[in-house]
Amino acid sequence: MTSSTLSDSIDILHVSKRYARQDGTPLAVLDDISLRVRPGEFVSVLGSSGCGKSTLLRLIAGLDTDYNGEIVVAGDKVRDTSLERGIVFQDHRLFPWLTASQNVLAALRNAPLSAKQKRDAVAQHIALVGLNGFEHAYPHQLSGGMAQRVAIARGLVNRPRVLLLDEPFSALDALTRGRLQDELQRIWEHEGITMILVTHDVDEALYLGDRVVTMAPRPGRIKRIVDVALPRPRDRNDPRFIRLREEVLADFAGHEDDTPHGGTRIPIVNPPITEWRLAW
């Protein structure tokens, strides 16, 4: 992994967020969140229904700037979206009328690069996610896992400091999800990029994260931070992994399980989204 300084960290400082209900009363979604993410670190944010984890990711991305507190990335306060912060959503959100390469190229529309540099960057990132040969395929011609690979390439093509991942594998079957988790870990190690993953899959959080931030709901707040001091690649059958899983699951004792494809999960309910903005 590439070396960085603490000035490249992500600092979330006493962040709180409220939405207005239909009757005008406030709904507290996040309450006094403070966290430092070190440069090059992989942090998993794990929480159950209504804990505001996806909202927190949107704030870091700059897709929502109406909150209290501060979010500082590499010394600069987040005030809007930026090419420095890529994001991958739960659904791939590819443009159906564009090919895989064209979807990745769309993220470069504001990049200060020549046409050739853009083509080269697209080709490089299509190869990075293992999709050589599918450059000219349209989204309907790709499997769900392949479409998410395109979305990851699109999130990385601007070479951001940070890649934000909002449950990118939750709609996939268990086998595909496992393969893409390994692929994401390979990309993270190769690129040396800071990654923040939001998930409600305990195994996924522990398998990928250097640290796991568990969140309590209503309003969302950090319950505790778990260091995952296990060697990579990780073995889900390792007794140390199993003990950590049981320890983390104890934080969510009594929560309903909504696992659609296997794995150890806790529920997800996204907060209301009042406006949509592009992340690039």
Q: Report the first-to-last Cα separation within the chain, whole angstroms.
A: 25
> The whole model's pTM is what?
0.84
In whole angstroms, what is the distance from residue 119 CA to residue 127 CA? 12
Map 13-61 to HEC letters: EEEEEEEECCCCCEEEEEEEEEEEECCCCEEEEEECCCCCHHHHHHHHH
Amino acid at 49: S
What is the CB neighbour count within 10 angstroms for residue 121? 21
In whole angstroms, what is the distance from residue 104 CA to residue 119 CA? 10
Has residue 54 been placed in a domain?
A: yes
Q: What pLDDT tens digit does each residue of the chain (280 aa) get?
A: 444 455 679 999 999 999 888 887 888 999 999 999 999 999 999 988 778 999 999 999 999 999 999 999 988 999 998 888 999 988 888 999 999 999 999 999 888 899 999 999 999 999 999 999 999 999 999 999 999 999 999 999 999 999 999 999 988 888 888 989 999 999 999 889 999 999 999 999 999 999 999 999 889 999 999 999 999 999 999 999 999 999 999 888 765 544 434 455 553 334 443 444 455 5
Has residue 131 been placed in a domain?
A: no
Give me the number of domains the chain comprises: 1
Domain of 197 in residue numbering reads as: 6-84+160-250
SS3 177: helix
Q: Can you tell me which residue has the tokens 């897709």?
A: 63
Has residue 216 been placed in a domain?
A: yes
pLDDT score for 7: 62
Has residue 145 been placed in a domain?
A: no
Has residue 47 been placed in a domain?
A: yes
Q: Name the E strands within the chain.
A: 10-20, 26-37, 42-47, 68-73, 76-77, 85-88, 162-166, 194-199, 211-216, 221-227
Has residue 152 been placed in a domain?
A: no
CATH number of domain containing 53: 3.40.50.300
Nearest in space to 218 (alpha carbons), one of 48, 21, 35: 48
> What does residue 49 show for φ and ψ, rounded to 5 degrees?
-55, 130
pLDDT score for 209: 97
Has residue 146 been placed in a domain?
A: no
pLDDT score for 253: 76
What are the tokens at 214? 């568990």
